[in-house]
Amino acid sequence: MRIGYGWDSHEFKDNLPLKIGGVQIPFSKGLSGHSDGDVLLHALTDALLGAVAAGDIGRYFPPSDPQWKGADSTIFVQEALKQVHRAGYAVANVDSTVILAEPKLGPHSVKIQARMAKLLGIRASQVGIKAKTPEGMGTDHAAIAHVVVLLAPRPAKPRRLRKATWATERST
C-alpha cells in the first residue's frame, strides 16, 4: 500500500469561473491560478504523484509554461493517474477537505464526488468530500484543499499460456 498527501490553495478573484473537483459552481468569483485554479484537483494531483514518489504538479505542469495557462485541471489528474498505474498501483480510496468561507459546497458535494470518482476510475463510495469554513484562520478570500489517497498494488495481469500442440501434449 502507498499513501499520498496533497495540499493546495488559491485566492478568489472577480470575473473567473469557480471550479472545484472538476465541477463548475455558480459563484460571483473564481479561484486564480495559472490553470483553471481547481484547488481540489491540484491537491489530488499532488497526492497521487506523492504516493508513488513521482514529484509534484509543478514538475509536470510548470506555471512558467504558457501552454498550461487556463488549462483544465482534469489533465493534471489524468497524468498523475498514469504515473500511479506505471508504478503498479491503483487508487483504493481518496479523502479530501476543502476549506473556504463561501460558497457552501454541501449542495455540490455529490456532484464533485461523482466527478472525482469518474476521473479516477473508482466508485463514488471510495471518494470522501468534506467542506469546512476557515473560522478565524484569516483565509476568507481563499480556498484551501487537503487530499489523502490510498493506493493498492494493481493485480498482475495473468500471463497468457501458449496453446500446447498435439505433439507436445502427447510427449508429456
Residue 36's pLDDT is 92
| Selection from 10, 32, 47, 25 nearest residue 109 by Cα | 25
Residue 168's pLDDT is 52
Q: Specify the 3-state DSSP secondary structure of 135.
A: coil
Q: Are 124 and 117 in contact (CB under 8 A)?
A: yes
Write the CATH number for 89.
Answer: 3.30.1330.50
Q: What is the mean pLDDT of residues 130-145?
A: 91
pLDDT in tens, 42-67: 999 999 999 999 999 989 888 888 88
Q: Domain range holding 159?
A: 2-171
| pLDDT of 156 higher than 90 | no
**Locus of grid cell 495557462:** 69
Residue 138's pLDDT is 81
Amino acid letter, 64: S
| pLDDT of 6 higher than 80 | yes
Residue 170's pLDDT is 53
Q: Cα separation of 109 and 112, whole Å? A: 5
| Number of domain units in the chain | 1
